Amino acid sequence: MTDTGAPTLWRMLREAAVQTCALVAPRQCPCGREDTRLCPHCTALLESEPCRVESCCDALQELSAARVRDEVHGDLMLPAGVDHTPLLPVLALGEYGGDLQRLILAWKNGGMLHLGARIAPALSPAVARLAGDADGALPFLVPVPSQRSARLRRGEDHTAELVRAMERSGAGRALLLRAQPTTAQEGQGARQRRNRQILLRGRAARQAGLRAAPVVIVDDVVTTGSTLRGMHQALTAAGMQVLGAVVVASARVPTEPRTAGERTG
Ligand SMILES: [Zn+2]
């Protein structure tokens, strides 16, 4: 436990306030079903098998080979074209749409903070899969940094809270770094947006880097993957070993199961 007394007390008070609000608010699932805080249908959405989505994230693709003509390597015929290899594996519980989208929006923006306690254990199998691909040690869980404006609007940092809840459910160890996304500039080109820079500050990042700590990045929704790319870059540059990323939902999911490194060109 690295928590000091004051933040713990603050979290307890806030949790008490959330619980009190939940008592007076009508019970409703984000999908609209009454008399339940999370209906069986939405519970099943969270219990779905995590799927690999990195092949759907444009900003995560690295050009790994280009051929101007068909090439034969032993038994293998490689057609002319380009190969893309994703930068890191990304696991999601499902596609960002329908009831899963309603659930995420209710948790992020709709004041239903209690949903974080249901989402956190649902992400544990995805973390275990990434850690199992490494050597099975309990990884560190790093939330993507929220924009300060978003934190002020919502009054809390929901990805940091999610990572704390994931630690409580035994998925890994929360590693809350002082990370600062650089704000998008007006008129910025696609290349700069793809390469979103994230600055890591503070002692925790330096220490984790020195230990080459295995980390899993945690976020709510992935779209192009530019934020995950920025986090991967910042964590790797600091010396940490990035096992992959775990998100609740992905803007796009593969239409059929694909494996990492599969040709996309
Ligand atoms: Zn529901």
191, two tokens: 């290349």
Average pLDDT, the chain: 84
- Residue 184 has a pLDDT of 52
CA 165 to ligand 1 center in whole angstroms: 21
Q: Which residue has the higher pLDDT, 20 or 172?
A: 172
Q: Is residue 161 part of a domain?
A: yes
- Average pLDDT on 186-214 reads 75
Side-chain-facing half-sphere of 255: CA atoms under 13 Å: 0
CA 152 to ligand 1 center in whole angstroms: 28
Q: How far apart are CA 44 and CA 46, in angstroms?
A: 5
Contact 235/142 with Cβ under 8 angstroms? yes
Contact 229/60 with Cβ under 8 angstroms? yes
Q: Is residue 260 part of a domain?
A: no
82 beta partners: 66
Q: Is residue 123 part of a domain?
A: yes
Contact 214/140 with Cβ under 8 angstroms? yes
Least confident of 1-10, 151-160, 198-207, 210-219: 1-10
Q: Is residue 20 part of a domain?
A: no
pLDDT digits (tens, 9 = 90+) for 145-175: 876 666 666 667 889 999 999 999 999 999 9
CA nearest neighbour of 249 among 117, 56, 68: 56
Q: How far apart are CA 3 and CA 22, in angstroms?
A: 26
Q: How far apart are CA 103 and CA 38, in angstroms?
A: 9
CA 94 to ligand 1 center in whole angstroms: 15
Q: Is residue 85 part of a domain?
A: yes
Q: How far apart are CA 10 and CA 216, in angstroms?
A: 27
CA 127 to ligand 1 center in whole angstroms: 25
Q: Is residue 129 part of a domain?
A: yes
- Name the 3-class secondary structure at 61: strand
Give CA 174 to chain center in angstroms: 13
Q: Is residue 149 part of a domain?
A: yes
CA 112 to ligand 1 center in whole angstroms: 13
- Name the 3-class secondary structure at 2: coil
Give CA 78 to chain center in angstroms: 34
Query: CATH no. for residue 198?
Result: 3.40.50
What domain range is 171 assigned to?
A: 49-250
Which residues lie near ion ligand 1 (Cβ < 5 Å)?
A: 29, 31, 33, 39, 42
Give the relative orientation of helices 116-133 and 98-108 as an angle to the nearest 10 degrees. 110
Q: How many domains are there within the chain?
A: 1
CA 204 to ligand 1 center in whole angstroms: 39
pLDDT digits (tens, 9 = 90+) for 38-88: 999 999 999 999 999 999 999 999 888 888 889 888 888 888 888 888 999
Q: Is residue 71 part of a domain?
A: yes
- Name the 3-class secondary structure at 235: helix
What pTM, to 2 d.p., does this model score? 0.79
CA 57 to ligand 1 center in whole angstroms: 28
8, two tokens: 């713990």
- Average pLDDT on 178-207 reads 69
